[in-house]
Homo-oligomer: A and B are copies of this chain.
Amino acid sequence: MTGTAQALPTSPGQPGSECAIRLVDAEKVEAVRSRMPAESDVTDLAVIFGLLSDPGRVRILIALLEGEMCVCDLAATTGLSESGVSHALRLLRGPRVVQVRRAGRMAYYSLADSHVRMLLDLGLTHVGHAGQDRLTMVSNN
């Protein structure tokens, strides 16, 4: 797609431009591009949101909002298998979303990141879940 160059017919700018991309409001495009975060930041952001994009992991994290829990209690709480919980927690451990405290053969997990707590609160408000009124905001749709 990017290979096929086409001259801008009605471009508000340079005649004879080699630009392959059609633009309507070139000024705005430039402004927005200059404010766009770095590639790595965008990727990290997508990764974090991706961790929150699975119902099982969301249930785990909501459970952890109340305090630390061990793997088998998380399984009982969320309905996932213990193996499933363990796999999920490994994904969350990587980017330091949760942290472990080990006591003997038990492993107690808790939220390690206040931003994620806020994302969950905000999201829960969005979907209309009551019981979370710490962030008050306008409902929009």
Contact bitstring A32-46, B, C-beta under 8 A = 1, else 0: 110111110111111
Among B32, B55, B73, B113, point to the contact of A28 (Cβ < 8 A): B73
**Main secondary structure on chain A at its contact with chain B?**
helix
Confirm or deny: A101 has a beta carbon within 8 angstroms of a beta carbon on chain B: no
| Cα A126 to Cα B46 with chains together (Å) | 12
Q: Are A123 and B48 in contact (CB under 8 A)?
A: yes
Confirm or deny: A5 has a beta carbon within 8 angstroms of a beta carbon on chain B: no
Confirm or deny: A100 has a beta carbon within 8 angstroms of a beta carbon on chain B: no
Chain B hits for A124, CB < 8 A: 37, 41, 45
Q: Are A129 and B53 in contact (CB under 8 A)?
A: no
